[in-house]
Amino acid sequence: MICLGIESTAHTFGIGIATNKGKILANALDSFKTKCGGLIPNELAKHHEKVKNEVLQNALQQANVTLKDIGVVAFSQGPGIAPSLLVGLKFAKKIASKVKVPIVGVNHCIAHLEIGKLLTKAKEPVLLYASGANTQIIAYENKKYRIFGETLDQGIGNFIDSFARYIGLGFPGGPKIEKLALNGKKYIELPYVVKGMDVSFSGILTNLKNKYDSKKYAIEDLCFSLQETVFAMLVEVSERAMAHTEKKELLLGGGVACNKRLREMCSIMCNERNAKFFAPENKYLMDNGVNIAWLGILMKKNAVKNYSSIDINPYERTDDVDVAW
């Protein structure tokens, strides 16, 4: 059985195709980019509308299949930006009705976790999900993926992108900040904000902007200090979740997990506590349709043919979903 998965929670419109055996047949996508400004909801929807047909053709070509070969269509139901999500939902309905197959809505955060398990063979990991809009420490306990810690304000990627935008680097800022940080020599003290198991970034962002405006600091040092501070916060809460749940595996997900320094810090922590560290290839850390297609396969039982009963769920939380697979 083949599943076609549609991702459209935020900046990326992606279509992935995967089999029920976990074979990935296609990963096609087109991401919104901008030199100034951020992710403006209606602009994202316009972008997705524009590229959706081309992305679909590209995916079918990569997989060497036609729509008739698809057994189920999955789409990102949430969490995400509503106008963006709606493009994915409508396209899912259009494709599914053409070939008369059922549709299943899936949770974007859980899709990151399940693709990581499939590709790295991690069995019972704690997931550090560090993406643009989301920052969560997730682990399975009693039929749900529970959130052990999370951001109290913005996601870590949005925080990094906001600072990058402030200093004129454009979107996405993460890779550019990482490059500048490599030339940072001096650690500049920043607020370190861990509250219980949660983290918060907005105060750090204000502090960084003020330091940048004062012109007293080298930009490379600010980027270096930003990374050292906020990554240490993530590693601290991830380690505490691992200690509490007695899990021996850490898995990374989300675009910020492409960052080499974050991966290095996670791997050091895992070594020190005799745990295993896993991260899938970068293309599966970033938002993409394959994650959605694979979770669609796992959740096939939830697929329905009554399309009018399906909707987006922009505020869906990881622990809203019953894990019945």
- Asked if residue 316 lies in contact with residue 85, where contact means CB atoms within 8 angstroms, the answer is no
Q: How far is the CB of 216 from ligand AMP (least distance, A)?
A: 25
Stretch that binds ligand AMP, among 35-43, 95-103, 117-125, 174-182 (CB under 6 A): 174-182
Question: b vs e for 284-299, b when ≥16 Cβ sit within 10 Å of the residue's Cβ?
Answer: bbbbbbbbbbbbbbbb
Choose the one of ligand AMP, Mg ion, none that binds residue 256, judging by a C-beta under 5 to 8 angstroms depending on kind: ligand AMP
Site for Mg ion in 283-302 (CB under 5 A): 287
Q: Which two tokens stand for residue 303?
A: 């697929």
Q: Does 160 bind ligand AMP (CB under 6 A)?
A: yes
- Taking the least distance from each CB to ligand AMP, the nearer of 70 and 169 is 169
Decide: is 131 part of the binding site for ligand AMP (CB under 6 A). Answer: yes
Interacting residues with ligand AMP between 261 and 290 (CB under 6 A): 286-287
The interface partner of residue 198, options being Mg ion, ligand AMP, none and the CB cut-off 5 to 8 Å by kind, is none
The only residue of 7, 30, 178, 316 in contact with ligand AMP, by rule CB under 6 A: 178
Partner residues linked to 252 by β-bridges: 128
List Cα–Cα distances, 228 to 173, 175, 266, 312, in angstroms.
16, 15, 12, 37
Residue 110 vs residues 28, 66, 138, 171, 191: alpha-carbon distances, Å: 20, 28, 9, 25, 31
From the CB of residue 228, how many other CB atoms can be counted at a distance below 10 Å? 17
For ligand AMP, the closer CB: 83 or 102? 83
Stretch binding ligand AMP (CB under 6 A), from 87-95, 203-211, 256-264, 267-275: 256-264
Nearer to ligand AMP, 160 or 292 (CB): 160
What's the DSSP call for residue 149? E
Looking at the Cβ atoms of 108 and 211, the one nearer to Mg ion is: 108
Judged by the rule CB under 5 A, the positions of this chain that interact with Mg ion are 131, 287
